[in-house]
Amino acid sequence: MKQLTLRITRFRLDFLSQTLSIAAFAASAFLLVFALHIAGASAAPRPAQDADIDTDTIHFDSSGVAMDAYVARPKGGGRHPAVLVIHGEQGLDDSMRAIARQFAAAGFVALAPDLASRLGGTRTPAQMAGTLRQLPANRTVQDLRAAFAFLRKDSSVDPAKISSVGFGWGGWRSFMLASSEGELYRAVVYSGATPTQGFDELHAPVLANYAQYDFRTTGNALQTEKAMTGAGKKFTYYVYPGVQRAFYSQGPQYDAAAAQMAWTRTLDFLQK
């Protein structure tokens, strides 16, 4: 009986030892694969499109204030359509600069103003929410009109094809620019609020990209369509199922499939 007990004990110890060895091997393999994945990602070459664009940080005047802006443009001569990239609640951050570069790679001169310039410029995400609340809404629209005027003077820009694309907080401002700037070509809204009035003054067709789970703004789509149609204006909108408000921007809410579809529709709309 004693020998049987010893054999069972040895069997259990051998089995536990083998199990731990297998688990350790599996963990090591996972870490190795994960490390290789990260290394491969960090070692990946920059997208070829970046070699075909130029970027810079510039300043333009708005009622005596020097506004900062990020500009990305295709290399080469000739005139190009242009787009004002209007940032969201996070300010002019890296995701907005990346979007400007994407537009440049698609053949646009992209100007992304920092609408927080009057208060010292874009800061950390935690600071930005309070910063943007200090800006009078009408003042931000005036600053966008100044950016529009700046683009019209750019020799590489086709002044008849300057559009605006607003994200989140910037979506309402894209709408308002379309109603206050008669020469705006087209306006795009991503998850942006709709103005409560002034649809009769809209000069440009509007495209809106909404998220299903953005309960703050998506619910207004039907009302906006009715008001725009009643005013004889062109309004097209899409609701992307299963995504959150900031599905278009790199971060926890990013959805690659929805972002790509919205991007394709945006380009098709702006290139007409």
Same domain, 34 and 64: no
Range 73-85 average pLDDT: 95
Say what the pLDDT of residue 127 is. Answer: 82
Same domain, 24 and 145: no
Walk across the sheet containing 157-167 and list its strands: 53-62, 65-74, 109-113, 80-86, 157-167, 187-190, 206-211, 235-240
Same domain, 108 and 153: yes
Q: How far from 139 is each of 63, 70, 123, 224, CA to CA, in Å?
A: 10, 20, 19, 24
Same domain, 118 and 238: yes
- HSE-CB at 96 with a 13 A cutoff on CA atoms is 27
- Read off the DSSP letter of residue 246: T
Same domain, 261 and 208: yes
- Read off the DSSP letter of residue 149: H
Range of the domain at 83: 48-270
Query: Which pLDDT tens digit goes with each residue over 12-48?
Result: 434 334 443 434 433 333 333 333 232 232 222 334 4
Same domain, 95 and 165: yes
Same domain, 6 and 68: no
Query: Residue 112 contacts by C-beta under 8 Å, 6 or more apart in sequence?
Result: 69, 70, 71, 72, 84, 85, 86, 87, 92, 96, 97, 99, 100
Same domain, 121 and 165: yes
Where residue 54 sits, what CATH number does that domain have? 3.40.50.1820
- Total structural domains within the chain: 2
Query: Which pLDDT tens digit goes with each residue over 216-247?
Result: 899 999 999 999 999 999 999 999 999 999 99
Give the position of tokens 């204030």: 65
DSSP string, 165-223: EEETHHHHHHHHHHHH-TT---EEEES-PPPSS-GGG--S-EEEEEETT-TTTGGGHHH
Same domain, 40 and 56: no
Same domain, 72 and 206: yes
pLDDT tier for residue 76 given thresholds of 50, 70 and 90: confident
How many whole angstroms separate alpha carbon 2 and alpha carbon 248? 69
Say what the pLDDT of residue 49 is. Answer: 53
Same domain, 115 and 32: no
Same domain, 91 and 27: no
